[in-house]
């Protein structure tokens, strides 16, 4: 299936803010709206940004209905997930995937949004954008020029190709396994990628380049998830792997170092034996600075020379 590139956003376009996952803290909503408006976009605020159902931005029916409606609404040019959290996987069976397929538009977010990226890329067939989000990074005082530049270029120049995905200054890429590969870029948050296994929305990794990152998971849990991906056979289908940020992913037992493995050892023991190109320390994830990634586009990674290029 060929992948559709959504129409670029331009200044003055209307962007919908939604929460397909967690509830938005009340004090963050107005600053998030203002941050998007400062970029030059009109803002429509979804009901899910103002609603709470426990830890969700509204119940499942509301969150799914809002996703469907924002894609169906011809006056909405792009959709930014205001935050992550948890809940996107619960609404997947309630999405009108045919409607969404017929109305591709810029869709941006990360973390729990990974569940939606996977479905929109491989079932609906259009490119989506792994980006920072309005109620989290956009309103932080340390939101930096590198992060803004990648975000703005991604959503306002969706046909952008033949360019390098370059790390932030003084933060070099690192080689785990050398070699080069070309494939469609997929993935996002490790927890969400793993959670897709065994479901109708299971991630397709055949011939793909998989990007992974996570936050607040100790090394043992990361080990468990990578082991599950490995024993499922999914990792054997890959062309290459990009490893991003692992924020606050420390040891299981900080008081007893002898009871722990470090993250690099886990990568060496589970991922390196795949004998495919693997790059580490990609500036992307629950971190600042962070780059934006065009999920669904074709990239070439050269782990030997430590380069990543978007080629189509």
Calpha distance 135→113 (Å, rounded):
14
Catalytic residue among 196, 213, 217, 292: 213
Indicate if 161 belongs to the active site.
Answer: no
Q: Which of 111, 135, 154, 292 is catalytic?
A: 111
286 in catalytic set: yes
Q: What is the C-alpha to C-alpha distance for residues 38 and 27, in angstroms, rounded to an integer?
A: 18
- Closest C-alpha to 187, from 103, 104, 243, 132: 243
DSSP classification of residue 236: G
175: CB partners within 8 A, 6+ apart: 278, 279, 280, 303, 304, 306
Active site residue: 21, 117, 217, 286, which one?
286
Q: Name the helix (H) or strand (E) containing 307.
A: strand 307-310
For the question of residue 111 being annotated catalytic, the response is yes
The catalytic site residues sit at 111, 213, 286
């Amino acid at each position: 299936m060929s992948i559709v590139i959504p129409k670029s956003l331009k200044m003055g376009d209307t962007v919908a803010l939604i929460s397909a996952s967690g509830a938005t803290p009340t004090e963050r909503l107005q600053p998030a709206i203002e941050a998007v408006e400062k970029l030059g976009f009109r803002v429509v605020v979804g009901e899910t940004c103002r609603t709470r159902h426990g830890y969700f931005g509204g119940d499942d029916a509301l969150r799914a209905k809002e996703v469907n409606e924002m894609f169906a609404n011809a006056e909405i040019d792009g959709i930014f997930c205001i935050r992550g959290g948890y809940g996107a996987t619960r609404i997947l069976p309630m999405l009108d995937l045919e409607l969404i397929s017929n109305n591709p538009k810029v869709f941006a977010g990360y973390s729990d949004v990974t569940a939606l990226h996977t479905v929109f890329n491989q079932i609906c067939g259009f490119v989506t954008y792994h980006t920072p989000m309005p109620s989290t990074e956009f309103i932080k005082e340390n939101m930096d020029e590198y992060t803004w530049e990648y975000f703005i270029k991604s959503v306002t120049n969706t046909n952008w190709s033949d360019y390098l995905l370059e790390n932030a200054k003084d933060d070099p890429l690192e080689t785990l396994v050398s070699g080069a590969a070309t494939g469609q870029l997929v993935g996002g948050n490790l927890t969400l990628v793993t959670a897709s296994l065994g479901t109708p929305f299971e991630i397709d990794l055949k011939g793909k380049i998989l990007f992974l990152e996570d936050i607040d998971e100790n090394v043992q849990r990361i080990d468990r998830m990578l082991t599950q991906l490995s024993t499922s056979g999914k990792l054997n289908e890959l062309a290459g792997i990009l490893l991003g940020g692992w924020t606050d992913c420390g040891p299981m037992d900080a008081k007893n170092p002898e009871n722990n493995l470090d993250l690099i050892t886990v990568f060496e023991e589970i991922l390196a034996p795949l004998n495919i190109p693997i790059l580490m320390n990609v500036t992307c994830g629950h971190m600042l600075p962070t780059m934006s990634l065009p999920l669904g586009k074709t990239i070439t990674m050269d782990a030997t020379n430590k380069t990543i290029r978007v080629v189509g």
